């Protein structure tokens, strides 16, 4: 009788090798094609890719696979991409609407993760898997922001009365009834997983703009975004490959603007997140083969706790 546990382990190793290859900034098309010729359950591979948040990256690589996967798999991937594209387009359109509305009210907001990070890392707002838009506002503006969202037809998880009483949730969540639209607001008081209190004015001073569909979207600087996604990954114990892939992609950007590593270190120190940063960078290198900055690599690799 065959040892089913060893067969399952072998399949998992094959599937994981494919996902790692797709998520790596150093991915090699011939190498990936070779891995995809292995025998494994395609349905299980797609399910695992979606679970790990990298189905978009896998789908992109399957377009150029030779020989192409069977028609059933191609159709499943196409259907997922179609639904994901429709969803991300609607969510991005809503993001534009909210930013315009908030600008008219004089409320400054920055977008983090979501479509902005997808464009920065992969050049396409629909390449990452995400289910909401994350906006950063000042704590002093959160009551006005909540009232504005309610006026736009959103339901607030946190009542205005609770905000007035200074009850601070993990984040301020807004849902639109009868629509799959979720908006999360974060302030300097909800970033509780940062080791040190976040200096939100510094985030606004260092802001950058990311162009999506011809519009300039206010966002965190690249350096602040890197620290934030490392803290987010650490908060969730790096349990999804997507979070490591985002770090690997962000530190591997070849086009301008590139990361200012002196500023990265300064921002990490400001947030008390130096070790969290080193861990994120070490994972990006060890798991996905991302190149580390030469002057920081010795410190990263010599940190025994990391």
Segment 116-156, tens digit of pLDDT: 999 999 999 999 999 999 999 999 999 999 999 999 999 98
pLDDT band for 108, please (50, 70, 90 cuts).
very high
Could you say which of 193, 220, 247 is where a domain stops?
220
Prediction pTM value: 0.92
Q: Is residue 97 in a domain?
A: yes
- Is residue 282 domain-shared with residue 161, that is, in the same domain? no
Instruction: Count how many domains the chain has.
Output: 3
Q: Give 183-237 pLDDT, tens digit per residue.
A: 999 999 899 889 999 999 999 999 999 999 999 999 999 999 999 999 999 999 9
Q: Is residue 81 in a domain?
A: no
Q: What is the pLDDT of residue 247?
A: 98
- Is residue 167 domain-shared with residue 285, that is, in the same domain? no
Q: Is residue 245 in a domain?
A: yes
Q: Is residue 113 in a domain?
A: yes
- Is residue 266 domain-shared with residue 215, that is, in the same domain? no
Q: Is residue 303 in a domain?
A: no
Could you say which of 220, 246, 264 is where a domain stops?
220
Q: Is residue 82 in a domain?
A: no
- Is residue 29 domain-shared with residue 53, that is, in the same domain? yes
- Is residue 215 domain-shared with residue 229, that is, in the same domain? no
Cα–Cα distance between 287 and 283 in angstroms, integer? Answer: 5
Tokens 């300064």 locate to 266
Q: What is the pLDDT of residue 70?
A: 79
What is the average pLDDT value for the chain, to the nearest integer? 90
Q: Is residue 248 in a domain?
A: yes
Residue 55: domain span: 8-69
């Amino acid at each position: 009788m065959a040892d089913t546990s060893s067969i399952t382990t072998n399949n998992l190793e094959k599937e994981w090798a494919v996902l790692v290859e797709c998520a790596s900034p150093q991915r090699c098309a011939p190498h990936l094609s070779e891995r995809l010729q292995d025998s494994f359950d395609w349905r299980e591979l797609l399910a695992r890719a979606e679970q790990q948040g990298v189905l978009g990256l896998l789908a992109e690589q399957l377009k150029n696979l030779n020989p192409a996967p069977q028609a059933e798999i191609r159709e499943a991937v196409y259907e997922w991409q179609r639904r994901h594209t429709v969803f991300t387009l609607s969510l991005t359109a809503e993001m534009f609407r909210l930013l315009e509305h908030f600008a008219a009210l004089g409320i400054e907001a920055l977008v983090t993760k979501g479509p902005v990070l997808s464009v920065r890392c992969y050049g396409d707002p629909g390449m990452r898997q995400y289910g909401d838009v994350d906006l950063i506002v000042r704590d002093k503006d959160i009551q006005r922001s909540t009232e504005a969202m309610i006026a736009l037809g959103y339901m607030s998880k946190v009542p205005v009365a609770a905000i007035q009483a200074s009850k601070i949730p993990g984040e301020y969540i807004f849902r639109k009834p009868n629509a799959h639209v979720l908006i999360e607001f974060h302030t300097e008081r909800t970033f509780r997983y940062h080791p040190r209190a976040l200096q939100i004015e510094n985030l606004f001073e260092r802001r950058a703009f990311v162009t999506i569909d011809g519009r300039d979207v206010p966002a965190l600087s690249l350096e602040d975004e890197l620290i934030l996604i490392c803290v987010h990954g650490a908060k969730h114990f790096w349990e999804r490959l997507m979070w490591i892939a985002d770090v690997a992609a962000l530190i591997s950007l070849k086009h301008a603007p590139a990361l200012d590593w002196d500023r990265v270190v300064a921002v990490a120190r400001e947030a008390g997140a130096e070790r969290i940063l080193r861990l994120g960078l070490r994972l990006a290198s060890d798991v996905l083969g991302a190149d580390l900055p030469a002057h920081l690599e010795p410190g990263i690799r010599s940190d025994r706790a990391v």
